[in-house]
Each structure stands twice: as structure tokens, then as C-alpha cells.
Structure 1
Amino acid sequence: MTYVVAGLVVSVVLLGCAAGPALDLLRRSAVGPGTAVACWTAALAGTSIAAAGAAAAALLAPPGPGHGFLSWLRDCLPHHGRLATAAAAAASAVLAAACGAVLARGLPRLGRAVRRRRRHRETLRLVARADGRHPDVLVLDHPVPAAYSLPSRRRAIVVSTGALEALSAEELDAVLAHERAHLRQRHHVLLLALDLLHAMLPWLPTVRRAKARLPLLLEMAADDAAARAHGRRALVAALCRLSAGPAVAGALGAAGAPAAGALLERVLRLEGGAPEKPRRAARLAAALFVVAAVAVPLLAGAVAVAELARTC
């Protein structure tokens, strides 16, 4: 068990501390934003799994406090009365509070984000109207050009009347393809999970860097999907026309004022022409990293569970 816990701790250190600076080099490399997003996601998932496994193993493995507590419950409670039961309940509450302290920092934030999205969707039902040409689009009467997506079962893309007037048909199609890529690739879910993890483990370098890097990479991945479908020129023109529009909390928009610096980087990237095709060695290395970053913590966690079951 000692070696398993040590392996989980090493995984936390490597993925939570060292992986972030290494993955920063992928932003401008030839692997592409989609591959970079997969690597960042794997590093974050592996960090979460390893951290949870290390904490659980440290608490429950002998001679950890959790294992001693479980042994005490098993051996002592059958021989004692209400006082022992009350003491066990109090100790359980303390242990549960200690284990849930980290979650308590992140879950309320996640709940607020979900409620904000739900209120936004309810408001759109009252003030927006369905677009007759596109079954997944709502039209909002507003003179400022804006387009964004908000996860929903029906009509998840919102376009303002100002955007409909400012964009040509080809540019509008590019914007809609961008937003559909966000929805299809579940970028909203990834950003919610990232926000939760950052609230719980903000001191880990990989988590901090992912908070700063991933939003831009997600936009670039959606840009590539739209550019493949409708061309780079139409997408660049649409991004420039939408650049004055506001950003919407909890939503992903093709362009917005708070992301002006990121928008400039995206436009320059698109105007630079087709990116270099990823090399086979780079793609293979990225795939191996994604698999290892998730599989190793999972395997170590499974071994820890088996050891705990055998010991207890």
C-alpha cells in the first residue's frame, strides 16, 4: 500500500505541477488546438483522480486515521451502547468534514454557475424568438452584433438582430459552425469542470495554467472546425464584425470585448494560412500522454481499492 500511495503522490506532482509548464509549449506547436485540449484535459483528469486516490488511501490505509476509525467501528460498536454510537457518529462527522473541505470550496461555485445558466435560458424563452431558417438558433432583438451558445436541449445558439444585419450569409454560417463546434465538443462542460477544479485546487500549477490557457484553445478548436466548413476568410470577417459585442457569462461566444487580446491572436492565426500538419511523432506522443495521464492514476487507484479491500 505504501508504494501505491507513493505512486499516486508522484502522479499528482508530475501531472499537477510539471505537466502544465510542459503543455504550455503545445500552444504554438504543430499539434493543433484540438490535440492540445485533449492533453490538458487528460492532465487535469489524471490530477483529479490521483489526488482523490492519494487522499482516500492516506486516510483509510493502515495505520491511517480512517482505517483505525473503521476498525474501531467494526470491533467496538457491537460491544457498546448508545454512548459509543454517539461518539462514532461525532467522529464520522469530523472525518467527513475534513474530507469534504476541498469540495465545499468548489461545489457552491458550480451550483451558482448552473443556476446562472438556467436563469439565462429562462430569460431567453421570454425575450427571444425562434429563427425560421435554423432549427438550433434563437434571435434576440438587440442592435449590438452578438452570437453565443448556451447548452440547452433546444435552440442552444443565440444571435442578435444586430449580428444578422452586420453579417453576410457566408459569415453567419461560419459563426454558426463555430458555435455548433463548441456544443458538439462539449466545451461548456469542460469549462465548468475546469472552474470547479480551479476552485478546489488553485495552488497546482497545471490547474492555474489550464484556467488561463484552455479557453483560448477551445476557441481555436472551434475556429478550425468553422474554417474547414466555410473558409478562413469568412470566419475572420465575422469575428471582426462581432468583436464589439459583449461577452456573456456562462456562455461561449465567437467573439467578445473582454477577450480582445485573445481574439487578435485567433485572427492572426487564421490569417496566417493553414497550420502545419501535425507530425506523426508529435501526434503519437500526445496520444501516449493522454492515455498514460488517465490510465496510470486509474490503475493505481484500482490497486489501492483492492489492497484496502484485502486489508480491511
Structure 2
Amino acid sequence: MIVSMAGLLMSAVVLGCLAGPVLDRLRRPALSPATAAACWVAALVGAVVAGAGLVAVALLSPPGPGHGLLGRLRDCLPHHGYPAIAAATAASLILVTGCGAALARSLPRLGRAVRHRRRHREMLRLVAREHRRHPDVLVLDHPVPVAYSLPARRRAIVVSTGAQESLSAAEFGAVLAHERAHLRQRHHALLLMLDLVHALLPWLPTVRRAKARLPLLLEMAADDAAARACGRRALVDALCRLSAAPGAAGALGATGGPGRGRLAERVRRLEAAEPVGPRRAVRLAAGAFATTAVAAPLLVGAAAIAELAMIC
């Protein structure tokens, strides 16, 4: 048990405190934005899993308040049939889901963002119209050039009439490719997860640095997808034309919302000469880190719970 707890504690320290500063020093071309974002997400998930494992072990190990629970389950379950066990499992899952929903509601900032996003979608249904050529685009009658995406089952991309009038066909296609990359790569869900982790563990250095760095990496990853589809020049021109547009709360816009310094960094990166891609060894190392960051805390936590079940 001491070894398992030490492993969980080491995972929490390495991923929650040390991984962030190291990842923050990595810049292109050492890692592509998509690969760097995957490493950040893996570090966040691993830190949360390690922290949850420490809490679970502290609650279940003697003389914690959950001491004896695993032993009672071990002695009780063999006396019941599979239907009863399945029903109990389903009830437990419902209970855990309810607790998770209650936790989300207890976080005011995250709750406000979700409600604002929902109201935004409802408003768009009233004031926006469908695009004639693109089935996933809504058109908003407004002179300010705006383009952004919201997580939705259909018509998730919003563009204004000002954007349509100010952008050429190539630039408009680059903007749509950028927003479709956000939706395809589930960037909205990643940012929502980042907000949740930041609300729960704002004191961890990795979480603080991810809050500042990950949104920009996701924008750059979408830039790469749009540049491959439509060319760098069209995307740069589109970003410059949309640079004066305000950001929509709860949405991912092509210009990245507030923070013009970030937009300037993206434009400089796109205007630079085609960089040499990261080496295969670097990509393998990044993949190994992401896999280990998630798998190691899970395995150590599972081993700790199994050891508790034997001694309780």
C-alpha cells in the first residue's frame, strides 16, 4: 500500500507540478500544436486521476471513513446473481452521474459558461438563417465581420453577412476549414474540460499554465488544418480581415477572441517559411509521454484499490 500511495503521489507531483513548466518551454518545430495539445491534455487527465486516486485511497484505507466498504462488497457480491449485480452497477453509475452533475452546478463559472452557450444557440435559431451552399453554416445579419463555431449537432458554424462581404471565396473557405477543424477535433470539449480542471485545481502549476497555453495551441492546430486545405495565404488574409471582430463567449472564433498578441503570433507563424516537421523520435517521445501520463496513474490507482480489497 505504501508503494501504491507513493506512486500516486509521485504521479500527482510530476504531472501536476513539473510537467507544465517543461511543456511550456517546448516551441515549434519541436512539437506540432496538435501534438503539444495532446501532451497538455494527457498531463491534465493524469494529474486529475492521480489526485482522485489519492483521495480514494485516503478514504478507503484504515482508519478512513470508507474502511470496510470494499470488504463488505467482496463478501456480499458472491451471494447475488448477475442481474442483481448489474442492477446495482447501473444504480451506482446513475448515482455517480448525479454527483457529477451536482458538482458541475456547484461551480458557478462553469455553469454560467454552459448556460450562456445554450442561450446563444437558442438566440441563433431565432435571428440567423441557413446558408444556401453550406449545410453546417448559419448566417447572421450583421455588418461586423464575424466567424465562429459552437458545439451543436447541426449548423454549428456562424458567420455574419459582414464576413461574407469582406472575405474572398478562398478566404471564406479557409475560415470554414478552420472552424470545421475545431469541431472535428472536439476543441470545445477540451476547453470545457480545461475550465472544469482549473475550477477544481487552480493551484497546480500545470493547470495554470495549461489555462494560458492550451487555447492558443488549439487555435494553431486548427490553423494547420485550414492551411493544408486552403493554403496559408488565404488563411492569413482572412485572419487579418477578421481581426477587429469581437469574440463570442463560449465559442471558438477564427481570430481566437480577445488577445491580439496571440493572433499576431499565429499570423507570424503562418507567414514564416514552411518549418521542418518534428522528428520521428520527438513524435514517438510525445506519444509515449501522453500514454504514460494517463496509463500510469490509472494502473497504480487500480493496484491500490485491489490491494485495499485484500486487506480490508
1:25 aligned residue? 25
Task: Answer whether contact 2:70 2:308 (CA < 8 A) is retained.
Answer: no
Q: Hey, what's the Cα distance between the residues in 2 that align with 1:52 and 1:256?
A: 33
Which range is displaced more, 165-174 or 302-311?
A: 302-311
Structure 1 match to 2:237: 237
Q: Which residue of 1 aligns with 2:266?
A: 266
Match of 2:57 in 1: 57
Q: Which range moved further: 301-310 or 180-189?
A: 301-310
Q: Provide the residue aligned with 1:249 in structure 2.
A: 249
User: Contact 1:106 / 1:196 at 8 angstroms: preserved in 2?
Assistant: no
- Whether the 8 Å contact between 1:5 and 1:54 is mirrored in structure 2 is yes
Change (3 A) 1:52 1:103: farther
CA, structure 1 residues 105+198, in 2 after alignment: closer, same or farther (shift >3 Å)?
farther
- The yes-or-no answer on 1:42 pairing with 2:45 is no
Instruction: Give the match for residue 164 of structure 1.
Output: 164
What residue number does 2:299 align with? 299
8 Å CA contact 1:175, 1:226 repeated in 2:
yes
Residue 151 of structure 1: SS of its match in structure 2? coil
The CA deviation at 1:125 is 0.2
> Which secondary structure state, in structure 1, belongs to the residue aligned with residue 236 of structure 2?
helix
Given that 2:227 and 2:235 are in contact with CA atoms closer than 8 Å, whether structure 1 keeps it comes out as yes
Give how far 1:154 is off.
0.8
Shift of the alpha carbon at 1:106?
Answer: 6.3
Deviations 1:177-224 (A, max 9, x none): 000000000000000000010011000000000000000000000000
Structure 1 residues 230 and 71, CA gap change in structure 2 (3 angstroms): closer
| Contact kept in structure 1, 2:157 and 2:179, CA below 8 Å | yes
Amino acid at match of 2:275: P
Q: Does the 8 Å CA contact 1:127/1:140 hold for their aligned counterparts? A: yes
Paired AA for residue 278 in structure 2: P
Counterpart-to-counterpart distance in 2, 1:25 and 1:135:
41
Residue 13 (structure 2) aligns with: 13
Question: In the alignment, is the contact (CA less than 8 A) between 1:30 and 1:276 conserved in 2?
Answer: no
Structure 1 contact 144–162 (Cα < 8 Å) conserved: yes
Return the offset for 1:103.
Answer: 4.8
User: Deviation digits for residues 64-99 of structure 1, max 9, x if unmatched?
Assistant: 343178889xxxxxxxxxxxxxxxxxxxxxxxxxx9
Q: Secondary structure at the match of 1:67?
A: coil
The equivalences for 1:1-312 within 5 A come to 1-67=1-67, 103=103, 107-255=107-255, 258-312=258-312
Q: What displacement does 1:111 show?
A: 2.6
Partner residue of 2:86?
Answer: none
On the 8 A contact 2:170/2:230 being kept in 1, the answer is yes
Unaligned regions of 5+ residues in structure 1, if any? 73-98
Alpha-carbon separation, structure 2, partners of 1:291 and 1:133: 41
**Alpha-carbon distance in 2 for matches of 1:136, 1:265:** 29
Structure 2 CA distance for aligned equivalents of residues 155 and 42 of structure 1: 30
Could you tell me which runs of 5 or more consecutive residues in structure 2 were left unpaired when the two chains were aligned: 73-98
Given residue 214 of structure 2, which amino acid in structure 1 is its aligned partner?
L
Q: How many residues align?
A: 288
1:191 maps to a residue whose letter is: L
* Matched residue type, 2:246: P
Amino acid of the structure 2 residue aligned with 1:111: G
- Asked if the contact 2:29/2:275 (under 8 Å) is kept, the reply is no
Runs (4+) of structure 1 exceeding 6 A deviation are 68-72
What is residue 86 of structure 1 aligned with on the other side? none
TM-score, L = length of structure 1: 0.87
Please provide the CA RMSD for this pair: 2.3
TM-score by length of 2: 0.87
Q: Deviations over 1:97-152 (max 9, x none)?
A: xx99x957964433322211111000000000000110000000000000000010
Instruction: Quote the sequence identity (%).
Output: 73
1:257–1:186: structure 2 CA closer, same or farther, 3 Å change rule? closer
